[in-house]
């Protein structure tokens, strides 16, 4: 078994098609099919099956997918470790960031990192908390900067800061002049919320369930910017991480209490996974920035 077998296998898993995977890999489809056949013969089982128009991993393929991704990541980490020993950091670094990334100091840290280590190509994607976990555990991410859920036994967290969730309303909303409001009163509002895969939304859902209240949710969106745009001239409201709101006069922030909803931002790693030199260095720079200046 060679590394190319693993790369070809994972490419088909991602593309869900032999032909599309062949195009992405710049090889012919017969060549790709032959390589997968070799891999299946070595493993003694089929790895793919047709499901309608798509090619999907079999049960064995799903199991092998996790280990193949881990193997390639470990090899990449090993290459980076050797280069670091020689005084060089290079390679690819895949990172997920929370959706309030643009309003934090993280873009400046990423820019400084790129200037210091031009040999590293960073791919940073904004993902929901649930997608971060899936991508970390599958080995497709080196690390993530998101919100820590203590129940995640397979995820290790390097704490950065604590951030409150706040009520956000338009400047003309009847509650715009309030400084604080009890969490229970959120049930009185018509809400525009993030979709359920987001950590902030999951926290709210758990809270409402705990007090046996049903919030009046009129709209759900999977991005923060359109939610804020929706609030500006309406009687709707939302609850977001404070750092996601930014500084604008078009919406007003009202602090929440009883209880104060708070989450911990952290650098997230896969437990027992190999950490590349490039990822560790980025984590060090992010942690140093927040330790020096505190929360935005």
pLDDT score recorded for residue 284: 94
- Determine how many CB atoms are found less than 10 A away from the CB of residue 46: 13
Please give the average per-residue pLDDT across 222-245, as a whole number.
90
pLDDT in tens, 249-270: 789 999 999 999 998 889 999 9
- Determine how many CB atoms are found less than 10 A away from the CB of residue 190: 13
Coil, helix or strand at residue 61: helix
For the domain bounded by 163-263, which CATH number is listed?
Answer: 3.40.190.290
The structural domains of the chain, with segments of one domain joined by +, span 3-63, 66-161+264-292, 163-263
* Residue 219: pLDDT over 90: yes
**Alpha-carbon gap, residue 189 to 182, rounded angstroms:** 12
Beta bridge partners of 257: 182
**Which two tokens mark 261?**
């909803």
Whether the model clears a pTM of 0.85, i.e. scores above it, the answer is no
CATH of 3-63, one of 3.40.50.1820, 1.50.10.150, 3.50.50.60, 1.10.10.10: 1.10.10.10
* Residue 294: pLDDT over 70: no
pLDDT score recorded for residue 293: 59
Matching fold, domains 3-63 and 163-263: no
pLDDT in tens, 169-218: 998 899 999 999 999 999 999 999 999 988 889 899 999 999 999 999 99
CATH of 66-161+264-292, one of 3.10.150.10, 3.40.1360.10, 3.40.190.10, 3.40.30.10: 3.40.190.10
pLDDT in tens, 61-110: 899 988 888 888 888 878 777 766 555 577 789 999 988 777 788 899 99
């Amino acid at each position: 078994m060679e590394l190319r077998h693993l790369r070809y296998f994972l490419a088909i898993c991602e593309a869900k098609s032999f032909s599309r995977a062949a195009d992405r890999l710049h090889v012919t489809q017969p060549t790709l099919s032959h390589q997968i056949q070799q891999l299946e013969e070595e493993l003694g089982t089929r790895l793919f099956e047709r499901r309608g128009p798509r090619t999907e991993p079999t049960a064995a393929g799903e199991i092998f997918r996790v280990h193949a991704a881990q193997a390639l990541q470990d090899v990449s980490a090993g290459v980076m470790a050797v280069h670091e020993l020689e005084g060089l950091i290079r390679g690819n670094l895949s990172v997920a960031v929370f959706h309030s990334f643009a309003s934090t100091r993280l873009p400046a840290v990423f820019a400084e990192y790129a200037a210091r280590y031009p040999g590293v190509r960073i791919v940073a994607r904004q993902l929901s908390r649930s997608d971060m976990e899936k991508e970390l555990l599958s080995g497709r991410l080196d690390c993530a900067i998101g919100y820590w859920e203590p129940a995640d036994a397979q995820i290790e967290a390097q704490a950065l800061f604590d951030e409150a969730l706040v009520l956000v309303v338009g400047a003309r909303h009847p509650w715009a002049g309030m400084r604080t409001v009890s969490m229970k009163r959120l049930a009185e509002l018509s809400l525009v919320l993030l979709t359920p895969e987001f950590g902030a939304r999951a926290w709210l859902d758990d809270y409402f369930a705990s007090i046996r209240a049903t919030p009046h949710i009129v709209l759900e969106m999977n991005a923060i910017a359109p939610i804020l745009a929706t609030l500006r001239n309406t009687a709707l409201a939302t609850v977001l991480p404070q750092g996601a709101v930014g500084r604008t006069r078009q919406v007003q922030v009202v602090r929440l209490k009883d209880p104060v909803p708070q989450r911990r931002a952290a650098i997230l790693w896969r437990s027992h996974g190999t950490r590349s030199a490039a990822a560790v260095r980025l984590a060090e720079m992010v942690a140093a920035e927040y330790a020096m200046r505190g929360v935005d």
